[in-house]
Structure formats: C-alpha cells, structure tokens
Amino acid sequence: MVTGCVELHQSFKAADSTVPIPPPVPSKSDGHQKRYVAPGIEHSCVSTATRDMWDRLFNDGYKANVVIYTDNGGIIYAHANIIGTASTVIKGMLKQAKRHGKWHAISIRGVPHDAVRVFIRFLYSACYEKEEMNEFIMHLLLLSHAYVVPQLKRLCEWHLEHGLLNTENVIDVFQLALLCDFPRLSVISHRMIMNHFKELYATEAWIAMQKSHPFLEKELRDSVIIEENMRKDRIRKCNERRIYSQLYEAMEALVHICRDGCKTIGPHDKDFKPNHAPCNYQACKGLESLIRHFAGCKLKVPGGCVHCKRMWQLLELHSRVCADSDQCRVPLCRNFKEKMEKQSKKDEVRWKLLVRNMLGTKIIGRSPFFLPVTSSSSSVS
C-alpha cells in the first residue's frame, strides 16, 4: 500500500509539477481523539504498528468467522481464535456454537451494543477511547468479570479509582464490586459511601439497593453509625490529650516559676529581676495569677475557693511527678509526698491514672524534673 502511494505521487509529479501532492488517505482511527491503551501496555515492547494492525483486523473483520449478536439486533464480526484465546468463557461458547458450521454465532446481551464493541476491540488490541471508557465503565466492569478478562478488570478498577467513581455510580459499583469479586474497589466505594452518606441516602440507587440487597443496605447504615461513633471518640480523645498536654505545660511552668521566677513572682531566696529574659512558658501567665491569688486569698470558703482548690490540686500533682523533692523549690512538694503514703487505694489509682495520661502526652523531650512515666504509673491498668 505504501509503495502504491509513492508510485502515485511520482506519476502525478511526472504529469504536472504544479499539481499539489495529495494528503495521505485517512485511516479508520482518524477523527478520534487520543487512543488509549491499557496501563502497562503503553510501555510494552509491542509497537504501535502492531496494535494498529490488531485494531484494523477487528474494524475490517478480515476473514472473520464469528458473528456476535447483541441487543436491538446489533451484530459484531470477530475471529474465533482471537476472542477465544482472550477469554476462556468465549472459547467455551464458541465450542458450543460449532454445530453452525463455518460461522460461529454467539450472543452477548444485557449490555448496549457499543459496550460489546468496546469489549471485543479490547480483546484484540487492548485499546479503547477515553469517552467509551467513561460511558461504558459499568458494562465493561461486568463484561470483564463475566468473560474472565483480568486485564480489563484491572483497567476498569484503575479508571474507577482514578476519577470515574462518583456519587452517581458509587452504589452500583459497590454492589457490583461485591458480586464480581473486586475487593479493592469494594473498599474504595464503601469509603465513598461513608463519606457521602447523607447525599446518597434515599436516592433512587439507594432505594433500589434496599430492595435488591436489604442486608447490605442495613450493613451500610450500621457502618455509618459505627464510623460516626469512632469519629466522636477520636474528637473526645483529641480534646483529652489537649487538656493533659496543657496540664503538663502548667507543671513545667510551675517548676520554672518556683526555680527561676517569672514576671512578678520569684523564688523566696532570690532577688527577683523584673527585666530578665522573656519567658518561654506559655502557661506562666495564668499560673502566676493563680499563685498570687493563692498566696493572698481572703475568701472564707470551707476547703478553699475554687481557684485555691485548683492550686492545691496542681501542687499535689506536681509532687506526684517530681523527680527529686529534696532539691525541689515548689511549695509543699515534700509534704504531699508524705501525705501520699496515707492515701486510700482508690485515690491512689485515680491520681496514678492522671499522672500517666499527663506524662504520656510528652514522650519525647520530657522535662528532667519529672519522673519517667513507667515508674510512677505502670502499675495502673
């Protein structure tokens, strides 16, 4: 064919040099946008020319010996040895259809004719158009499973995962993934359903699923409730952690105030320098005002006012995490250590739990003034 074209050009030239060279004859695939091949194939050693040849063989149906009947009277021609090799299921169908003589006749129904065309073309060349993939993804997914074509199965999964899965098809994909053994796809679509539950619930697809697979629908609703509880639990734990972390910072600031002094308060045996370096402890400000209040509280409330009670608790907590009460400058540190020995078992467990949770928030870079987390609290479970 190429030789023929060259001869034609030369004869034109010889006849009249002013005649323009005709453009190349358009091929069948022209007019289409970029042709796609299955991932993994595009970098294979199979050349484009070879793929084009397989595509052409399908399009032209040269010496085809199989007729495939599709819905609405559609017909596709194919080659028995090619489609039979690509799919063992089709091979079995062809065997059964042998009695028809020279021409094998099989039927692929229940999906649009064009979807079957895309499917059969894929068996030849592993090529497809992007638009066709977008339009027939669900049918191709089904066909790839029904006719056992693993390469197309993987391709459909890949396309769904990389853009084609959406809130319109996710419920169908999820059911199909479970029925047709697509484990990864079922996980991905399940996650999408969980994330868009409010939007998807009571849609047409959802109601259809409720009718066809009531157990599955109930399981989905249950999972939403479980997920929601887990989410609330995560938020609660996160808030708890934040509170314990703030408590830890308050403990650090307390040691710092009683050892170095800060802004308005200094250790009793040192001169306070009002213009010393800026403080790095965020908790200092609140703690200083609490200490000042504690020192001069005039509220005559039994057991102390709410601020004083808080200060007592902080001082006791400090004593429980203090690594060396003999060197410590925090007031009452040693007194609380002695008091601890007389404490009830119940109180002891409560305090140890608080200490463990608080120290647990700073595993790395913990203060040298505090006990390691294991020695003070490992006995609590």
Told to check if 279 binds Zn ion by CB under 5 A, we report yes
Q: Which is nearer to Zn ion, 152 or 284 (CB)?
A: 284
Q: Which is nearer to Zn ion, 222 or 324 (CB)?
A: 324
Q: What are phi and psi of 278, to 5 degrees?
A: -60, 145
Q: Which long-range contacts (CB under 8 A, 24 or more apart) does 105-108 make?
A: 105/66, 105/67, 105/68, 105/69, 106/66, 106/67, 106/68, 106/69, 107/68, 107/69, 107/70, 108/68, 108/69, 108/70, 108/143
- Residue selected from 259, 307, 352, 362 as contacting Zn ion according to rule CB under 5 A: 307
The secondary structure of residue 74, as a DSSP letter, is -
> Which letter, b or e, does each residue of 1-10 get, where b requires 16 or more Cβ atoms within 10 Å of its Cβ?
eeeeeeeeee
Binding residue (CB under 5 A) for Zn ion from 124, 136, 281, 351: 281
CA 352 from centroid of its chain's CA atoms: 38
Is there a contact between 83 and 90 (Cβ–Cβ < 8 Å)? Answer: yes
Between 289 and 378, whose beta carbon lies closer to Zn ion? 289
Would you state the structure tokens that stand for residue 25, as one six-digit string?
A: 């004859």
**Of the candidate residues 142, 328, 354, 359, the single one contacting Zn ion (CB under 5 A):** 328
Q: Using CB under 5 A, which of 284, 314, 354, 359 touches Zn ion?
A: 284
Residue 334 vs 352, nearer CB to Zn ion: 334
Mutual angle of helices 345-360 and 306-321, in 10-degree steps: 80
**How far is Cα 20 from Cα 15, in angstroms, rounded to an integer?**
11
Binding mask 225-264 for Zn ion (x = CB under 5 A): -------------------------------------x--
Nearer to Zn ion, 117 or 320 (CB): 320
Q: Pick one of 138, 146, 178, 305: the residue that binds Zn ion (CB under 5 A).
A: 305
Restricted to residues 44-83, the positions that interact with Zn ion (CB under 5 A) are: none
Q: Stretches 13-21, 27-35, 66-74, 299-307: which one binds Zn ion (CB under 5 A)?
A: 299-307
Closest to 254 (Cα-Cα) out of 175, 367, 157: 367
Nearest to 160 by CA among 139, 197, 44: 139
Closest approach of Zn ion to the CB of residue 166, in Å: 55
Stretch of 6-14, 57-65, 307-315, 337-345 lying at the interface with Zn ion (CB under 5 A): 307-315
- Site residues (vs Zn ion, CB under 5 A): 262, 279, 281, 284, 297, 299, 305, 307-308, 322, 328, 330, 333
